[in-house]
Homo-oligomer: A and B are copies of this chain.
């Protein structure tokens, strides 16, 4: 059931069949109908390999994401996939994990599969050591590379970011204006996003309070128990803090658990802000005030930019989308 079978049954040449398939207007209505009927009848499907062989494209985008079980990334992947489909593109998904070598392998794999572009989801694709980003920069020489929450200023790389710096800056300023000056900052990852967030916090503190107390900046594994235990430990060690800004909701939930164990009232004795506005934020008790980074907008914007790039249009290298603070019961903001 290939184009030859169709052409034979329809009594036309394969060229005509190809024209019908591709919507070429230079076919008489009558011939066109005949061909369509035959295709329907024998259940013909074009062979993507043969097509790809000539065109060297399969209308397919490679998506890389470090961990699809991370709710933020999973949501992003979901929206990206949906938007791509709307535009007639399919996608390859690769869950790369966090090791550089794997990321490199997967990116090469995608290129060898002749994807039309690559989307890197999440800031874990930027390495500390700048040289280690070479594989991304090289890939961008072959196909467009879109990054979500990562930023590289190189030709062929287009970045869509959320304004993590500003959100933690604002969050810290909120606390400070409530006279909560000893704000603990809790984070898990030193990814691009992670650093932006931390810088926002630091900027707010140093601008409004003078010096940043490095003891109030703590790294912590990305699970609830670790977060709770760390806070208990810090508190036992004599560290004072009346507010927590957590770079992930799950760390914020840990802070809630800590407050309960330490018999602190929320939000009076301890205020908490989480990050991502994930499901977790409404499941805990009290519910967690959290920063919403608009995954859907981020994803839609990325795909729409990609379409413009593939279309040869001129697209800015960097687009930043602002975040929202979703106020719940772990703070007494009114705003």
Contact = CB atoms under 8 A, between A and B. Distances in A.
A51 to B, nearest CB: 8
Given A78-B67, A95-B82, A224 B283 contact: yes
Interface stretch (A17-25, A106-114, A197-205): A106-114
A68 interface: yes
Contacts of A45: 111-112
A286 to B, nearest CB: 10
Interface string A74-115: 110110011001000011111100000000000001011110
A251 to B, nearest CB: 11
Interface centre among A78, A114, A283 (most CB of B within 10 A): A283
Nearest to A111: B45
B69 A75 contact: yes
Contact of A74 (B56, B74, B284): B74
The residue in A49, A92, A93, A280 that gathers the most chain B C-beta atoms within 10 A of its C-beta is A49
A166 interface: no
A86 to B, nearest CB: 12
A186 interface: no
Q: How large is the interface on A (under 10, 10 to 19, 20 to 34, 35 or more residues)?
A: 35 or more
A52 interface: yes
B81 A95 contact: yes
A119 interface: no
Contact of A114 (B47, B74, B90, B283): B47
Nearest to A65: B78
Contact of A90 (B50, B109, B283): B109
Given A68-B77, A81-B93, A81-B95, A284 B284 contact: yes
A265 to B, nearest CB: 15
Contact of A69 (B71, B92, B280): B71
A307 interface: no
Interface string A23-56: 0000000000000000000000111111011001
A250 interface: yes
A270 to B, nearest CB: 15
Interface string A189-232: 00000000000000000000000000000000000110000000
A108 to B, nearest CB: 8
Interface string A280-297: 101111000000000000
Interface in A245-270: 250, 253, 256-257, 260
A335 interface: no
Given A45-B112, A74-B74, A92-B91, A224 B282 contact: yes
Contact of A47 (B53, B74, B285): B53
Which of A68, A280, A285 has the most chain B CB within a 10 Å cutoff?
A: A68
Given A67-B78, A78-B69, A81-B93, A49 B283 contact: no
Contact of A52 (B49, B283, B284): B49
A121 to B, nearest CB: 12
Contact of A283 (B48, B81, B112, B253): B253
